[in-house]
Structure 1
Amino acid sequence: MARRKLSHEGTLVLDSEGLSKLLSDDESTVALVAEARKRGMETVICALTVIEAVHARTDKARLGRVLSGLRVVAVGEDEAKAATELLMEGGLHGHKYAIDAAVAVTALRQHRPVVILTSDVDDMTKLCGEQVRIVAV
């Protein structure tokens, strides 16, 4: 299996699919997160990502262990306003893309270079432009 390379230092951001795959010990995602940490990248998630990724069968103990190794970024009024601007600039509606926009704001405010692990490549590209590197999971 070919390994995808990440940048030295900077920040790795997980969206809900990235977090879900990390929770389920997906080999590729675990390897990407391990590589990022080895390279000195901080791994972060938007607080709303936790809500989006959790379901009735989520192992709470596993979730706690995984979250303890990540920096969870809060979403307040300032972040909400910035996410609204991204939605408007991208021509997207908050009903469908609210959490993606909050994740994008989280990513855009991190130490560069920033990489997002996401299943929503098109949406994240619309929201982040070329300011972050998008990696499909």
Structure 2
Amino acid sequence: MRHEDTLVLDSEGLSKLLGDHEPVLAMVAEARRRGKEVVISALTIIGAVHSRTDQARLRWILSGLRIVPVADEEARTASAMLIGAGLHGHKYAVDAAVAELALRQQRPVVLLTSDIDDLAKLCGDRVRLVSV
């Protein structure tokens, strides 16, 4: 990973961090080693957690991340981003919240995602997308 100021995880990024996926663990460790922020949207947790999630591990992982809430202003901005990208519906709602979060972080920003196509439509070239 190059020198980035912020590393953002989407739901798949968080899921892989919870599952000890080596490439994601390495990227998060490198970001922390360089003093960079590792950030998630509060909505990301919803997409990453399931009935088999180890709750103690989840709490431990989350304690090391900056979790950003989604308030009215952020929701309105994310909605406008969806319209601008020609997307709509619940399928894209969390992606839009993650994109909105990524776009307002200290640049440069890397976003770990499993959804390169949709997030590219939302973020354009302002965020470096890395497939996980």
TM-score by length of 1: 0.94
1:134 aligns with 2:129: yes
How many residues are matched? 132
Contact 1:6-1:36 at 8 Å conserved across structures: no
* Structure 2 residue aligned with 1:7: 3
Q: Which amino acid aligns with 2:53?
A: T
State the Cα distance separating 1:52 from its structure 2 match.
0.9
Q: Is the 8 A contact 1:84 1:94 kept in 2?
A: no
Runs of 4+ in 1 over 3 A off after TM superposition: none
Which whole-Å deviations, capped at 9, do the CAs of 1:100-132 have from their partners, x for residues lacking one?
Answer: 000001101111111000000011100000111
Partner of 1:30: 25
1:101 aligned residue (91, 96, 109)? 96
State the 1:35 CA deviation. Answer: 0.8
Instruction: Quote the Cα distance in structure 2 between the aligned partners of 1:61 and 1:19.
Output: 15
Q: CA RMSD in A?
A: 0.8
Question: How big is the shift at 1:36?
Answer: 1.0
- What is the aligned partner in structure 2 of residue 76 from structure 1? 71
| 1:39 positional shift | 1.7
Equivalent of residue 41 in structure 1, options 25, 36, 39: 36
Decide which of 87, 90, 97 is 2:85's aligned counterpart.
90
Q: Per-residue CA shift, 1:28-87, capped at 9, x if unaligned?
A: 100010111112210000000001111000000000000000000000100000000110
Q: Which runs of 5+ in 1 are unaligned?
A: none
Out of 32, 47, 50, the residue aligned to residue 45 of structure 2 is 50
Percent sequence identity over matched residues? 64
Using the alignment, how far apart are the partners of 2:2 and 2:51 within structure 1?
Answer: 33
2:60 alignment partner in structure 1 = 65
Is the CA contact (8 Å cut-off) linking 1:6 and 1:35 kept in structure 2?
A: no
Q: Secondary structure at the match of 1:58?
A: coil
* 1:7 CA displacement: 2.0
User: Tell me, which stretches of 5 or more residues in structure 2 are unaligned?
Assistant: none
Structure 2 residue matching 1:6: 3-state secondary structure: coil
Structure 1 partner of 2:120: 125
